[in-house]
Structure 1
Amino acid sequence: MIGKLRAILPDLTPLRVVRDFRLLWFESFVMGFAASMALIAMPLQIKELTGSPVAVGLIGAVELVPLLVFGLYGGALADAVDRRKIILFTEAGFGVLAVALLVNSLLPQPLLWPLYLIAGLVSALSGLQQPALQSLIARIVPHDRLTAASALTFISSQCASVGGPALAGVVVAFAGTPSAYALTVAAFPVAIPLCLKLAPAPPARETRRPSLRDVVEGVRYAGSRPLLIGTYAVDVAAMLFAYPVAVFPFLAEEVGAPWALGLMYGAIPLGAMIVSVTSGWAGRTRRHGRMVVLGAVGWCLAMTAAGLTSHIWLILVFLTLAGAGDMISGLGRNTIWDQTVPDELRGRLAGLEVLSYTCGPQLGMVRAGTMAGLTGIRPAIWGGGAAGVVAVGLLALALPRLMTYDAATDEDALARKAQKEAMPTGDG
């Protein structure tokens, strides 16, 4: 029995042996919980101020351009300067913006435009921070434990994403949005000291000012690898067509269950967390490309089903299944990136990675909000899910390298493993 449990439970080795990964894991949990509180409170506040699904979906459009610009620049920056400094700078910026959200919510008549401005600035800081975070983890964790590290990172974020929305729904319902923002602000005195304890993480190449040439070099490398392009394309397609989170407040009202809004937001990360805590099998998988495709199809099918039913508990079940599919796809995607990208390009490729898994949801929010305004809430959900199934299927046919990827024989994965074994792991 114990052996069977060990086979499915996540591998805790990265937490035990890599000090900086431990620090990043706990910091990610604290900030993930805080961020999810704010991310739920903001659309609810916009809904209260406007009553418009289009206005809520517009958050995605506002966040898109800063994410594109700063995600690419953040990738080049992560390859040129100390990644620890980037993480500290951006965390401080997030703290200032959280205070601004709190102050605006305490006004006698909260303003709408600061919400969009802050959403754009948060997106810009995320674009700067995420490549540094992801490339740092890929550097400090041993090569054969990268899938385990991805699973543990997802566990941290998904636990926060389950608890944060559920708590945010209760807090906003009974104490208003200022209380949710106040809890977000309270997390920073805990998270920033954890970042200060991280060891310096200087660049792997000779330091120089990040430039457009560096960004282009990263894009060219990704463009020369159909495997990487496939993982990006599948993720963007699934999120573009089947990410209806922006219309959840309106769906909850339509099915007569406004009390379940927090549960709806928490159901997707709950499904992801279930996969994460039973992810022991993933470390023994070699066909990560198939995980990417099949998980994305599962996400889209579950969203289609959620849009076709009017029973709130069935909707929650299907949203949970969608989260499970997304996590399977995400584990495969992260493993391929971490196994095949050389360290000197890791920051820039992490910038493209950030764009792929965040631009899709931003565009999906715009699509869902716009389509809901034209066709209604339910068609915007099930129609997008069905379109996502078709899009992912066509991409799988067009990119056979993705379906045939094998970590044990892929040339880039083997070269990266040799490079990683020649570097310090940051154990201790």
Structure 2
Amino acid sequence: MAGVVQSGLKRIAVDTRPLRVPAYRRLLAGQGISFVGFQLTSVAVSAQVYDITQSSLWVGLLGPANLIPLVVFGLWGGAVADAVDRRKLLLTGSVVAWLATLALLLHALSGGENVSFMLLVVALQSTGFAVSSPTRVAIIPRLVPLDNVPAANTLNFLVSAIGSVLGPLLAGLVLARGGYGTAYLIDAVLFGAGFYAAVRLPRLDPLGAVSRPGLRSVVDGLRYIGSQPVVMMSFVVDLIAMAFAMPRALFPEIAAERFGGSPVAFGWLSASLAIGAVTAGLVSGWVGRVRRQGVALTVVIALWGLTVAASAFAGPLWLVVVLLAVGGGIDMISSVWRQTILQTYAPDEMRGRMQGVFMVVVAGGPRLGDLRAGATASAFGLGPAWAGGGLLCAAIVVVAGLAVPAFWKYDTSKDRPGAAGPPRSTPQL
């Protein structure tokens, strides 16, 4: 009996094989540590903007402040990642994001309450993130064997989720005792871990055909997406999930109206989605064995919308957090499948651009969701903005999934055009 239990646990436990590659291991650890600081800053900025303005609409405007640079520089950064040494590009984008954090720190220490300045600095931070994020992910298939890519993606999402738990919870404590400047200072210090990991990477010059980064290269990437229904729908379903159901911009108002404005309650709300993602990641061994990923994505995103809608009607803080955590776990699983589709379906010379678009959608979708949530709450109230978005997400994603047969029938064991491109074994870098 003990052997059966042990075998079952191995089948569902997170797959750690990619950690055998030292370069990937360093990259993952650096990403995890620096991401705690990034999330700390994200929560602090939202709280500071609401503190200054007392308006969810202004908090929602952080969405477009992030989104515009994500679209412009995400697409451009992905194109550049297909044409240059990805290590140098990762370092450049990381430094830009770090300088933005320093600007927020100086603004807070000076006692400033200039929301317009904060929006501009957030846009600068988003620019750095837009360049570094697709580059970091495009590196992964060059560091680990192809059959380890789903496991590497799961570990990436897991450490990001852990950072998304620790960052907001830390923010709740820091904002209650130390203030906004302390939050930004911690972020600036933790940045060093990610920078060190990037410095230790080997040169990662492009493989295959190299296109000059620019508008034509970006257009070629978008044209490739348009010609591949499976790839296209991996983006569409995520946009539906985030734009309609993401409740993040409502957390400051929820904390103020329902939980007495408690910074600790705000921290728990901000961490709730990531708590579920961490839990799902720890029992994710089965995720890489799912072959019908089109069907699976449609189902889990519909469940995400329904779970978010249910959390709108919960009363106690613990129940709201639990329901949102369930949604976060569902979203984490869908993210692994979407990322794996891009990394195994597309050839290496397209991966930077695919990750650029992926980053625009993954990071930009929630910003659209922030704007939608903030504007809807201002117009119709907190409840309709929260529950209505979740219900719309569930309905729309089912219709969209059924409307594209190639996506609905997608089977990883049969439909992987890009799988032959990358090497199947990797040196221990």
Asked if these proteins are the same fold (TM beyond 0.5), I'd say yes
Shift of 1:416: 2.5
Deviations 1:285-316 (A, max 9, x none): 21222232122112111110111223322211
**Matched residue type, 2:105:** L
CA distance in structure 2 between the aligned counterparts of 1:246 and 1:84, rounded to whole angstroms = 34
Equivalent of residue 359 in structure 2, options 336, 351, 354: 354
Task: Say which of 95, 99, 112 aligns to 1:92.
Answer: 95
Q: What amino acid does structure 2 have at the position aligned with 1:353?
A: F
The whole-number CA distance in structure 1 between the counterparts of 2:113 and 2:62 is 17
1:189 aligned to 2:192? yes
Q: 1:396 aligns with which of 392, 396, 401?
A: 401
- Measured in 2, the distance between the counterparts of 1:23 and 1:45 equals 33
Aligned to 2:15, what secondary structure does the other structure show?
coil
Question: Which residue number corresponds to residue 422 of structure 2?
Answer: 420
Q: 1:385 aligns with which of 383, 387, 390?
A: 390
Which residue of structure 2 lines up, in the alignment, with residue 11 of structure 1?
Answer: 15
User: Do the aligned partners of 2:210 and 2:349 also contact (CA within 8 Å) in 1?
Assistant: no
Q: Which moved more, 1:186-195 or 1:333-342?
A: 186-195
On the 8 A contact 1:150/1:335 being kept in 2, the answer is yes
Per the alignment, residue 127 of structure 1 pairs with: 130
Which letter maps to 2:398?
G
Match of 1:317 among 317, 322, 337: 322
Alpha-carbon separation, structure 1, partners of 2:252 and 2:333: 27
Distance in 2, Cα, partners of 1:56 & 1:121: 17
Structure 1: 5+ residue runs without aligned partners? none
| Equivalent position of 1:247 in the other structure | 250
Moved more, 202-211 or 1-10: 202-211
Q: CA deviation at 1:382?
A: 0.2
Q: Distance in 2 between matches of 1:169 and 1:131?
A: 29
Instruction: Tell whether the 8 Å contact from 2:272 to 2:328 is kept in structure 1 after alignment.
Output: yes
Shift of 1:206: 5.5
> Which residue of structure 2 aligns with residue 230 of structure 1?
233
Match of 1:67 among 60, 65, 70: 70
Mapped partners of 1:289, 1:338: distance in 2: 15
Pairwise CA RMSD: 1.4
Q: Tell me the CA shift for residue 207 of structure 1.
A: 5.2
- Residue 213 of structure 2 aligns to a residue whose secondary structure is coil
Matched, 1:25 2:28: yes
Match of 2:280 in 1: 275
Answer whether contact 2:98 2:125 (CA < 8 A) is retained.
Answer: no
In structure 2, what is the equivalent of residue 375 of structure 1? Answer: 380
> 1:65-121: per-residue Cα shift (whole Å, max 9, x none)?
111111110111000111000111111112211111111001133322221011111
On the 8 A contact 2:294/2:401 being kept in 1, the answer is no
Instruction: Note if contact 1:29-1:156 (Cα within 8 Å) is conserved in structure 2.
Output: yes
Task: Specify the code of the residue in structure 2 equivalent to 1:416.
Answer: G
Structure 2 Cα separation of the partners of residues 111 and 384 of structure 1:
31
Identify the match of residue 53 of structure 2 among 50, 55, 58.
Answer: 50
Match of 1:308, SS state, is coil
Q: Distance in 1 between matches of 2:422 and 2:192?
A: 34
Alpha-carbon distance between aligned partners in 1 of 2:403 and 2:295, rounded to the nearest angstrom: 14
The verdict on how the C-alpha distance between 1:349 and 1:190 changes in structure 2, with shifts beyond 3 A counting, is closer
Match of 1:138 among 134, 141, 144: 141
Classify 1:36/1:343 alpha carbon distance in 2 versus 1 (closer, same or farther; 3 Å): same
Distance 1:340 1:394, change over 3 A: same
Indicate whether 1:336 and 2:341 are aligned. yes
User: For the residues of structure 2 that align with 1:331 and 1:196, how far apart are their CA atoms?
Assistant: 26
**Counterpart for residue 290 of structure 2:** 285
Task: Please say if residues 252 and 261 of structure 1, whose CA atoms lie closer than 8 Å, have aligned partners that are also in contact.
Answer: yes
Query: What whole-Å deviation, never above 9, does each CA across 1:107-158 have from its counterpart, x for those lacking one?
Result: 1333222210111111111211122111111222211111101111111111
Letter of the structure 1 residue corresponding to residue 67 of structure 2:
L
